[in-house]
Amino acid sequence: MEYMTVLKELSELTGVSGREYGISSYIANIFREYCDKVEIDKFYNVSGYKKGSDMAGKKIMIMAHHDEIGLLVKSIDEKGFIKFTNIGGIDSKILLAQEVVVHGSKDVYGVIGAKPPHLLKPEEAKKAVKMEDLYIDTGLSNESISKLVSIGDVITFKTYPFELRRDKLSSKCLDNRAGVAVLLDIMKRLSKLNHNHDVVFVATSQEELGLSGAKIAAYNINPDMAIVIDACHGEIPDGAKDETYALGNGPAIAIGPNLHRLYTKKIMDVAKEENIAYQVDVEPGNTGTEAWATQVSRSGIPTILISIPLKYMHTTIETVQISDIKSTGKLVSRFVSEL
């Protein structure tokens, strides 16, 4: 798989939580290449079914969310400037002087502005800028923008995928398009590997809004076990070592009450046998991932969580390393094949 190209393309798609209509049909088309059957549900979860070799096999669900954080049009002022709020967790400190696309009846380009620094009072300058003090400048008058953009339209960051050294990619929403890339990688690998059990790949919606897509998908699919693929915090100079995972050292496998102990041990064993490097993510409670919702679906689903280290989460420059995506794909497909 041309990992870098696939990942760049996935990060360029628009899929703000709750508005996954476009991205879901795009992903469904890719899934169709490798799956026997593809469905999109009411929540825009995309499920791809791949039959196992054993007629009496069980059902394994592998999920990664395809939605992304974004902004939402709140109001348009008399000069045409747009006020906005956030969808998903966004630090307003990273929004100044960013470029965005407002998805109205047409896509409209804009930049995020605020009161210029030389006009700030000293006490204002010290405090972090608040979202209510920011606005989007589309260069259009109120009359022109009102024809294109309505209250409630979503806004994404403008994507400029940046290839860094050491096979790293920096772009928007690699949380969790990197996970979606892993789903594609597993599909391709499983086309060549024997697997007894049926596998259902799910690109889920609305993760950033409280795991809604995963709740619906887990209920609808009702699998015998679930593997959640998401992003975890990558190691950065100013981050606590025990909360972060180095890029390039393989996926982080989570241990804790949210995760099924035996399957978690099993996937670690597979990693050791296959010489795939991994890191251990100790999660004493809520993992904050779709594993949390999936574990308690219906009568309960044994769930494991595999995370891709990602730096600068929920910014315009989320950064991952390609080797981690490859090794996550390899590890999960080996695991599924051995079950």
Partner 1 sequence: MYIKELTELNGVSGNEDEVREYIKKCIKELVDEISIDSMGNLIAFKKGKNSKYKVMLSAHMDEVGFMVTGFGESGVVKFATVGGIDERILPGKRVLVGEKNIPGVIGSKPVHMQEREERNVNIKLKKMYIDIGTDKREETEKLVSLGDYVAFYSPYTQFGEGLVKAKALDDRVGCAILIEALKERYEFDLYACFTVQEEVGLRGSEIAAYTVNPDIALVVEGTTCSDVPGVEKSEYSTVLGDGAALTIMDRTSYPSKNFVNYIFELAQKSKLSIQFKQTNSGGNDAGKIQMSRGGVVTASISVPCRYIHSPVSVMSEKDFNSCRDIVIAVLKDLGKNQQLIENMKRI
**Interface segment toward partner 1; rule CB under 8 A; list 4-12, 56-64, 147-155, 239-247:** 239-247
Contacting partner 1 within 117-176 (CB under 8 A) = 117-119, 125-129, 133, 135, 137-141, 144, 160, 162-168, 170
Q: Say how far apart CA 103 and CA 243 lie, in whole Å.
A: 35
With CB under 8 A as the contact rule, the residue among 1, 4, 72, 96 that binds partner 1 is 96
Nearer to partner 1, 33 or 163 (CB): 163
Residue 78 catalytic?
Answer: no
Binding mask 171-210 for partner 1 (x = CB under 8 A): ----------------------------------------
Helix (H) or strand (E) holding 102: strand 99-103
Q: How many angstroms separate the Cα of 43 from the Cα of each of 18, 39, 203? A: 8, 11, 11
Q: Residue 309: what are its φ and ψ, rounded to 5°?
A: -60, 130
Q: Say how far apart CA 71 and CA 110 lie, in whole Å.
A: 13
CB of 275 to partner 1, least distance (A): 21
Residue 319 touching partner 1 (CB under 8 A) = yes
Residue 273 touching partner 1 (CB under 8 A) = no
Nearer to partner 1, 9 or 167 (CB): 167
With CB under 8 A as the contact rule, the residue among 4, 57, 313, 338 that binds partner 1 is 313
CB of 81 to partner 1, least distance (A): 5
The packing angle between helices 322-338 and 3-12, to 10°, is 100
Amino acid sitting at position 206: Q
Both structure tokens of 322? 């390609």
Nearer to partner 1, 134 or 187 (CB): 134
CB of 91 to partner 1, least distance (A): 4
State in Å, rounded, how far the first CA of the chain is from the last one.
Answer: 25
Q: Give the CA angle between residues 277, 291, 31 to the nearest 5°.
A: 75
CB of 169 to partner 1, least distance (A): 9
**Coil, helix or strand at residue 160:** coil
Both structure tokens of 333? 């497909």
Nearer to partner 1, 220 or 317 (CB): 317
Residue 4 touching partner 1 (CB under 8 A) = no
Nearer to partner 1, 63 or 95 (CB): 95
Q: How many angstroms separate the Cα of 54 from the Cα of each of 3, 95, 187, 301? A: 31, 51, 18, 21
Catalytic residue among 207, 283, 290, 318: 207
**Interface segment toward partner 1; rule CB under 8 A; list 12-20, 53-61, 90-98, 323-331:** 90-98
Going 262 to 273 to 200 to 279, the CA torsion angle's sign is positive
Q: Hey, which residues are catalytic here?
A: 207
